[in-house]
Amino acid sequence: MILNIPFSDIVFYFVAAFMVLLSIAAVSSKNVLRSAIFLIATFLGTAILYLLLKAEFMAMAQIMLYVGGVVVFIIFAILLTSHLGENKLSTPISQKFLAVFLALTLLGVMAKFLFNTKELSESVAQKSPEASSLIAYGERLLSYAPNGFVLPFEIISILLFMTLVVAITIAKKDNKEEK
C-alpha cells in the first residue's frame, strides 16, 4: 500500500506536519526572539511547499523577502526594544481556553464548507511546465498587454518607496519631546 504513494506526497505531509508544529511553537513561545527563529523555520517550510507546487520563483521570493527581509526587521525590532522582564508576559488560562475555542470554531466552520465541495480533491495539476518558468513570469510581469502586470508592478514600487519614507519618519527621534 505504502509504495503506491508518490515521493512528493510523502515530502508534502512531512513538510506540512513540520510547519504546523513549528508555527504552534512560534505563537506559544514565551521568548519573542525564539519565536522569531521558529518563524524562520516556518517560512523555510513554506518555501519547500512552493517548490513542490512547481513555483520556484515564489520559493526564492519567499526566502529572500520573508527570511531575508521581514524576519530581519522583526529581529531588529526585538533587539531595539528588548527589556528585562518583558519576556515573562503571561495570559490567564481562561483567555487561552477562549482563544482555542474561537480558533477551533473557525476551523470547523471553514472545514465544513471545504468538505462539501467535491471537486477540490482531484490531484491532477492544471499547470503546464512552461507556465511556471522564470521567463514566463518576467514577460508577464513587464508586459503592456491587457493581461500584463506592469501597472501593479509600478504601483508596488511607489508603495514600497512611500512606506520606507513613512517608516523612517515615524521611527525617528523627536527632538522636541526628548529634550
Partner 1 sequence: MTLLHCLILAFILFTIGIFGVLTNRHLIGMLISIEIMLNAANINFVAFAYFKAQDPTAGTLFSIFSIAITACEMAVALAILIAMYRKHHSLDVNTQEINHE
Instruction: Tell whether residue 80 is a contact of partner 1 (CB under 8 A).
Output: yes
Instruction: Tell whether residue 123 is a contact of partner 1 (CB under 8 A).
Output: yes
Among residues 1 and 104, whose Cβ is nearest to partner 1? 104
The distance of closest approach from Cβ of residue 50 to partner 1 in the complex, given in angstroms and rounded to an integer, is 6
Q: Of 4, 94, 121, 175, which one interacts with partner 1 (CB under 8 A)?
A: 121
Q: Of 84, 168, 175, 179, which one interacts with partner 1 (CB under 8 A)?
A: 168
Rounded Cα distance, 110 and 119, in Å: 16
Instruction: Tell whether residue 171 is a contact of partner 1 (CB under 8 A).
Output: yes
Q: Of 3, 120, 145, 151, which one interacts with partner 1 (CB under 8 A)?
A: 120
Instruction: Tell whether residue 147 is a contact of partner 1 (CB under 8 A).
Output: yes
Rounded Cα distance, 83 and 67, in Å: 24
Instruction: Tell whether residue 176 is a contact of partner 1 (CB under 8 A).
Output: no
**Those residues with Cβ within 8 angstroms of residue 38's Cβ, 6 or more apart along the chain or in another chain:** 22, 23, 25, 26, 29
Q: Of 14, 86, 150, 154, which one interacts with partner 1 (CB under 8 A)?
A: 86
Helical residues (DSSP H) of the chain, grouped into ranges: 7-28, 32-52, 56-61, 71-80, 93-116, 134-141, 150-171, 175-178
What cell numbers appear for 154 in the block?
509600478
Instruction: Tell whether residue 14 is a contact of partner 1 (CB under 8 A).
Output: no
Give the sign of the dihedral formed by CA 51, CA 52, CA 55, CA 59.
Answer: negative
Total residues binding partner 1 (CB under 8 A): 88
